[in-house]
Chains A and B, each alone.
Chain A
Amino acid sequence: GAVVSQHPSRVICKSGTSVKIECRSLDFQATTMFWYRQFPKQSLMLMATSNEGSKATYEQGVEKDKFLINHASLTLSTLTVTSAHPEDSSFYICSARDAGGPSYEQYFGPGTRLTVT
């Protein structure tokens, strides 16, 4: 079945540094990937939609200069949290849509736990 991986699964970084999270579709091509953020005991909030070869579309209230998204290939999207601060600590989850599959189907990665100290 369709598998999405994320790397790293956990990362701890110091305040002011940047951290990159990778999202890969392992056995399918994904023209569209989504990035979500989940706070403890809360739901997933869509941050941005990433389309291969074009600029990401950010949801209202999400700082595009802080959360840089790159979707350079059909199997890889990256989220870079720039100048991270403790309030950026969260669980980040990506999902991917199979380019050859139905438009409603999203496959989720296992998530990345970011802790900013």
Chain B
Amino acid sequence: AQSVTQLDSQVPVFEEAPVELRCNYSSSVSVYLFWYVQYPNQGLQLLLKYLSGSTLVKGINGFEAEFNKSQTSFHLRKPSVHISDTAEYFCAVSPNFGNEKLTFGTGTRLTIIP
């Protein structure tokens, strides 16, 4: 079984400042890792994913994340945030051998302060 922990439920950040949203996972098998963004009253949009290879993955909207196997982390970063980045961000994990169920973290609400 897998589990995902997002330590910060809310993160306020000033516009144009950098941000890091933390995600740690637990799994007994190798996993795929994902970050999704959810705007109010909408479904989820994939920001980026780690499947294998380079531990630094780049996604849409200027976001990137780094997979750290020893720390079982997959933190999301953006060097300069914009008002439009205000949303809920979910980290998710799934096993990498064909069972495709996603396990989500509890989410981090990112609020950009003008």
A: residues with CB less than 8 A from B are 4, 6, 32, 34, 41-46, 49, 91, 93, 95, 97, 103-106, 108-111, 113
Contacts and interface: CB of A to CB of B under 8 A. Distances in A.
Contacts of B44: 44, 93, 95, 108
B43 A4 contact: yes
Nearest to A4: B43
Interface string B72-105: 0000000000000000001000101010111011
Nearest to A9: B41
Contacts of B51: 104
Interface residues of B, number: 22
A110 B107 contact: no
B110 to A, nearest CB: 14
Given A103-B98, A104-B51, A104-B94, A43 B43 contact: no
Contacts of A44: 44, 90, 104
A111 B44 CA distance: 9
Contacts of A45: 104
B90 A43 contact: yes
B54 interface: no
Contacts, number: 49
B100 A43 contact: no
Contacts of B101: 34, 46, 49
A18 B105 CA distance: 31
A103 to B, nearest CB: 5
B43 A109 contact: yes
Contacts of B109: 41
A106 B106 contact: no
6 contacts: A43-B106, A95-B44, A104-B96, A109-B43, A110-B43, A111-B42
Contact of B42 (A46, A97, A105, A110): A110
Contacts of B68: none
10 interchain residue pairs of minimum CB distance: A108-B43, A108-B44, A110-B43, A43-B104, A43-B106, A44-B104, A111-B43, A104-B32, A109-B43, A103-B100
